[in-house]
Amino acid sequence: MPELPEVETVRRMLEHHVVGRTVRSVRLSGKRLRIAVSRTLPSRLRRRTVRAVRRHGKYLLVDFDREITVLSHLGMSGRWLFFPSRPKEAMPHVHVEVAFEDGSWLWFQDPRRFGLIKALDSERAFRDPALASLGPDPVLALPEPDRLVTNAKGSKTAIKNFLLDQKRIAGIGNIYASEILHRAGIDPRRRAGSLSRREWVAVATEIPRVLFAAIERMGTTFSTYRTLWNEPGSYGERLLVYDRASEPCRKCGTPIRRIVQGQRSTFFCPTCQRRGAVPAPRRSRSG
Ligand SMILES: [Zn+2]
């Protein structure tokens, strides 16, 4: 499932390709995504020009002129595909086809249909329930340790699941939560409310460090995610713990452990991430 770095990669590519283009027509598959795509979408977008592409957490906001914003979430398998001219071959699972006046095309493909496409009034976009409940985006505004301490006070939720809670911080998913906690030297099973201020400083430092490094490499390669240009991201080779069960920790050699938290896999080093462990000195290449 795409996380913040993958969605930011898509945002940058959409910004590069579609800002300034004007919609000629929009065609819908009529199939239901996470929610049904409004049948009025084609008429609302006709003749509108894309002005900006924003992101908050894992959500994309495509702003058109005359105050219309299309809110989009990639869900499990959604992809935006840009074509400079009309695609020669049809593709399966394309649910939104945007034709621009200059002859270029933008498709939203989503085999598993957990994605979201919804037109909103730009001014009220952040009042939409999907966005209104989200916590701050850790790339748009760097996380503040004191705010995290206050936010986690008394929380019995495991720190790994706390980081995944989009209401607390928007954008972190399963891969980067494991990576952040490993770099911060924190056991993923610890209760969020039990972390010291010093540990929260480590977490607040590692969140943007990991996310920015992943953005630089256009995210991580995994089964369904591809960038808009259909290239896999290359952050996978930088992962220290995720999907490395039984392999030696890159810092200390201890076999990486896999556990299940909230029905999802967590990977960690039992030595580097001991309860109360002082974060091990970082290797420079682990960036
Ligand atoms: Zn280790």
The 10s digit of each residue's pLDDT in 81-110 is 999 999 888 899 999 999 999 999 999 999
Residue 219's SS3 state is coil
Residue 229 has pLDDT above 70, yes or no: no
Instruction: Please give the pLDDT value at position 283.
Output: 53
pLDDT in tens, 192-225: 999 999 999 999 999 999 999 999 887 775 544 5
How far apart are the C-alpha atoms of 187 and 203, rounded to whole Å?
Answer: 12
Residue 234: the pLDDT is 77
278 vs 146 pLDDT, higher one: 146
What three-state secondary structure class fits 70? Answer: strand
Q: What percentage of the chain exceeds 70 in pLDDT? A: 92
Active site residues: 2-3, 58, 264
> If you count them, how many residues does the chain have?
287
Tokens 């969605």 belong to 7
In b/e form, how buried is each residue of 70-90, taking b as 16+ CB within 10 angstroms? bbbbbbbbbbbbbeeeeeeee
In this structure, of 16-25, 55-64, 214-223, 227-236, the range with the lowest mean pLDDT score is 227-236
What predicted TM-score, i.e. pTM, was given to this entire model?
0.89
Tokens representing 28 are: 């819908």
Average model confidence (pLDDT) across the chain: 91
- In the block, tokens 């819908």 appear at 28
Phi, psi at 43, each rounded to 5°: -70, -30
Q: Rounded to an integer, what distance in angstroms lies between the CA atom of residue 115 and that of residue 98?
A: 16
Q: At 276, is the pLDDT very low, low, confident or very high (cuts 50, 70, 90)?
A: low
Task: Quote the ligand 1 centre to 279 CA distance (angstroms).
Answer: 10
pLDDT band at residue 286 using 50, 70 and 90 as cut-offs: very low
Residue range 110-128: mean pLDDT, rounded: 95
User: What is the structure's pLDDT at 223?
Assistant: 44
Ligand 1 centroid to residue 252 C-alpha, Å: 4
The pair phi, psi for residue 108, each rounded to 5°, is -110, 115
Q: Ligand 1 centre from 93 Cα, in Å?
A: 43
Task: Tell whether the model's pLDDT for residue 233 goes beyond 80.
Answer: no
Q: How far is the CA of 123 from the centre of ligand 1 (A)?
A: 48
Q: Which two tokens stand for residue 197?
A: 């201020």
Least confident of 77-91, 117-131, 183-197: 77-91
Residue 142 or 229, more confident: 142
Return residues with CB closer than 5 A to ligand 1 (ion): 249, 251-252, 254, 269, 271-272
From the CA of 158, how far away is ligand 1's center (Å)? 20
Q: How far is it, in rounded angstroms, from Cα 272 to Cα 253?
A: 10
Mean pLDDT of 227-251: 82
State the Cα–Cα distance between residues 113 and 59, nearest whole angstrom: 15
Kindly give the pairing relationship between strand 257-261 and strand 264-268. Answer: antiparallel
Q: Say which residue the tokens 């609302």 belong to.
A: 44
Token duo for residue 252: 């200390």
Top pLDDT among 2 and 38 is at 38
For residue 186, report the distance from its CA to the centre of ligand 1, in Å.
11
- The whole-number average pLDDT for the span 173-185 is 97
The closest alpha carbon to 280, from 254, 261, 260, 259, belongs to 254
pLDDT, greater one: 264 or 287: 264
